[in-house]
A and B are shown apart, each in its own frame.
Chain A
Amino acid sequence: MSNKIPLDLHIPEPPARPGDIPDFSHIVVPEAGATRRPDTAEAEAAMRDLPFGLVRVLDDEGNAVGPWNPRLDADSLRRGLCTMLRCRAFDERMFRAHRQGKTSFYMKSTGEEAIAVAQSMMLDRDDMCFPTYRVMGWLHARGYPLLDMVNQIFSNANDPLKGRQLPILFSAREYGFYTLSGNVGSRFGHAVGWAMASAYKNDDRIALAYIGEGTTAEGDFHEALTFASVYRAPVLLCVTNNQWAISSFSGIAGGEATTFAAKAIAYGLPGLRVDGNDFLAVWAATQWAAERARNNLGATLIEFFTYRAAGHSTSDDPTKYRPADEATHWPLGDPVERLKQHLIALGEWDDARHEAVIAELDIEVREAIKAGEAVGTLGKSKPPVAEMFEGVFKEPDWRVIEQRRELGV
């Protein structure tokens, strides 16, 4: 017999499963304003505390406090709030449209709206976002027409992507929104290449990429960080840590061992850990990282700490793997409620206006859906079938031409 200790295999498990009382006691939430804001020119080696802090601006009373306060004017704050509400209103109605059989698939951003909305507003029109499917707020913030969104989701005759893509896997170049795909992570490195191209051309455009905390386990994430670090690419690499990758909690992606922001340390990149439900903190962190990128100081990895309040998609039922009321226990609250509270504390907003905006947005969204329905829902209307054969190559080759003829379109 060996006197060595028997080895034991560790399989991470979340603190609460269905039927349990939600438990976020392991999450340490520093007070708003507690995490320092270094000068953007500070050496990375001096900033290695940041990945273990949490950039927060809004305190529990809705006051903006501390060194990261971006001091936004009331109009920008209201625009941010209304855009988050628009995103939420659209999500609610489209989710319902799916349940009514009008489309095959939908994914909500509920609880994570502050991230894409603040970043879309903060960055320039010429910058490029390499999105995930949970950052539709980017498009809402830039005024992407709701009807075009609906038409894409219904894959109808007016679908801007010509019936070729799953619902919400948009592409919107004019809005700084790179083409999405259903396989996660594989655009993260494109953002680095795009940013390197901008630097190569001596242009002034920067890139921003999103990846979920679950997908940080893919090679794409590490390859992108390596290239971003090596070539000092002007890019913001953002991990939206919403705690859940479909049914796998963040511990399955390595979240028990360290923070996702701390992955930056090994690449020699600054890593910020940011309260993703705090519109002002998201804005400030983005501004900070963008300043570094624009000053040729290279990439920043930003972990947005947030919570996926809805299911992964219309095909998912989160009550099967986590407590049904977990979202209401999330210690960082709801991004819409927090910004609303701040605006009210400033005397720039009130409940009546809030409710009025929700009502207006609901009408606007319903009208867009109605207009999309008039064109047709999934299966009732579609682009010309000939579109199936277009765009494989710039010019079709004989296979596509012959097959199109074979199908008779």
Chain B
Amino acid sequence: MARMNMIQAINNALDTMLSRDPDVLIFGEDTGYFGGVFRVTDGLQKKHGLKRCFDTPISEGGIIATAIGMGAYGLRPVAEIQFADYILPAFDQLVSEAARLRYRSAGEFWAPITVRSPYGGGIFGGQTHSQSPEAIFAHITGLKTVIPSTPYDAKGLLIAAIEDDDPVIFLEPKRLYNGPFDGRHDQALKTWAAEESAEVPEGHYTVPLGKAAVVREGQDVTVLAYGTMVHVAAAGIADSGIDAELIDLRSIVPLDIDTIVESVRKTGRCVILHEASRFGGFGGELSALIQERCFYHLESPVERVAGWDTPYPHAFEWDYFPGPARLAKALVRVMEA
């Protein structure tokens, strides 16, 4: 089986779907001939033709509106937004249109679209190439939000997203594109070559939306993470020496509440880790759900380790980025509580 980095795995998912379903087509800024600024769609136009993978104007609202119209026609468009930070001009299309089409038309129209977008920090991208907007989408009824953490999951989740009949925001942790990154920024870069989770089967397979993965079993505390933070969490857990159970949510909508509740009831403790700023972040929702469902099993307050409530600052990348040391401290705190 081939080992792939996450870029190759996503490219392979798109290639698989273009080959399999003539109603799938791909478009976005620089997505066509050039293959995207991160090379994710490299070679797809050449292989599948101009009409299957093409460039769009710099118009995120126009890209998503076009995708919705195509979806309503019966196609399965995969739109790329170059950076998740640039998705906001399309916010009205996602919130007022894509998310509502099925509901307001009583099932006459729907938007089976997938919106791919690189998100997250760790690349010195500054304020406009580093943000993690997942909580904004999670709040919108009718949107699904998926975030892979490995090449295997990236391909399987993306195929599931494309085949899904509801609109899916597919956030790609750009710091993981070329290798697993555990937040130890001062150490040598790793590639995916050594990772089992980079074993990506050829052809079609899916990882179901809404099914979390227990990455590490443990008894003492549950750590909830997704995307890049899954790898950071693993490092933080190792540093702390605490027997933590690490859950990769894989999608925040739909959310695998059963796996979360089962784990927290077992461990009695929980730390939530995400890159997005803390206040109003998705960690708040997770914390509330755990409080509602696991209160009498809790041995200590649920902790959130997250980006600070500031814009993403360029020079302070590693002061902002919630790395393994901050998680390890939180794990110690909840164990001592």
Contact = CB atoms under 8 A, between A and B. Distances in A.
Interface of A: 160-162, 164-165, 169, 171-173, 178-179, 181, 183, 186-198, 200-201, 207, 219-220, 223-224, 226-227, 230, 391-394, 397-398
B320 to A, nearest CB: 31
Interface stretch (B101-109, B145-153, B297-305): B101-109
B66 A196 contact: yes
A223 B66 CA distance: 9
B57 interface: yes
Most buried by B among A161, A169, A393, A398: A393
Contacts of A178: 72, 109
A52 B93 CA distance: 33
Nearest to B109: A179
A197 B257 contact: no
Given A171-B109, A172-B108, A173-B109, 10 more contacts: A178-B109, A179-B108, A192-B65, A194-B73, A196-B70, A198-B73, A226-B57, A391-B103, A394-B166, A398-B254
B110 A164 contact: no
Contacts of A189: 61-62, 65-66, 68-69, 93
Contacts of A181: 96-97, 100, 104
A190 B69 contact: yes
B66 A192 contact: yes
20 contacts: A164-B104, A172-B108, A178-B109, A179-B101, A179-B105, A186-B65, A189-B69, A190-B68, A190-B69, A193-B68, A194-B72, A196-B66, A197-B75, A200-B51, A200-B70, A219-B61, A224-B65, A227-B66, A392-B103, A397-B210
A201 B42 CA distance: 24
Interface string B55-71: 01101011001111111
B195 interface: no
Contact of B62 (A183, A187, A224, A394): A224
A374 B40 CA distance: 59
B142 interface: yes
B10 interface: no
A188 B109 CA distance: 16
Interface in B161-220: 164-166, 210
Nearest to B209: A397
A159 to B, nearest CB: 9
Interface in B261-313: none
Interface residues of B, number: 46
Contact of B166 (A195, A224, A393): A393
A171 B105 contact: yes
The list of the 8 closest CB pairs from A to B, nearest first, reads A193-B69, A189-B65, A223-B62, A197-B73, A190-B69, A193-B66, A171-B105, A179-B105
B157 interface: no
Contacts of B62: 189, 223-224, 226-227
B106 A161 contact: yes
Contacts of A219: 61, 89
Given A189-B69, A190-B72, A227-B62, A164 B106 contact: yes
Contact of A160 (B59, B74, B106, B253): B106
Contact of A179 (B77, B104, B166, B254): B104
A293 to B, nearest CB: 15
Most buried by B among A183, A223, A224: A223
B92 interface: yes
B107 A191 contact: no
Contacts of B72: 178, 190, 193-194
B97 A186 contact: yes
Given A186-B92, A227-B62, A397-B254, A194 B210 contact: no
Most buried by B among A179, A219, A398: A179
Given A190-B65, A220-B61, A393-B142, A171 B106 contact: yes
A173 B253 CA distance: 29
A164 B103 contact: yes
A399 to B, nearest CB: 8
A187 B253 CA distance: 25
B25 interface: yes
Nearest to A235: B69
Contacts of B71: 193
Contacts of B255: 397-398
Contact of B69 (A172, A197, A230): A197
B67 to A, nearest CB: 6
A193 B165 CA distance: 17
A178 B69 CA distance: 10
Contact of B106 (A190, A192, A391, A397): A391
Nearest to B144: A393
A346 to B, nearest CB: 40
A338 to B, nearest CB: 34
Given A226-B59, A397-B210, A183 B96 contact: yes
A192 B69 contact: yes
Contacts of A190: 65-66, 68-69, 72, 97
B69 A391 contact: no
Nearest to A391: B103
Nearest to B99: A392
B108 A173 contact: yes
B69 A194 contact: yes
Contacts of A391: 102-103, 106-107
B74 A197 contact: yes
A195 B105 contact: no
B61 A193 contact: no
A211 B108 CA distance: 22
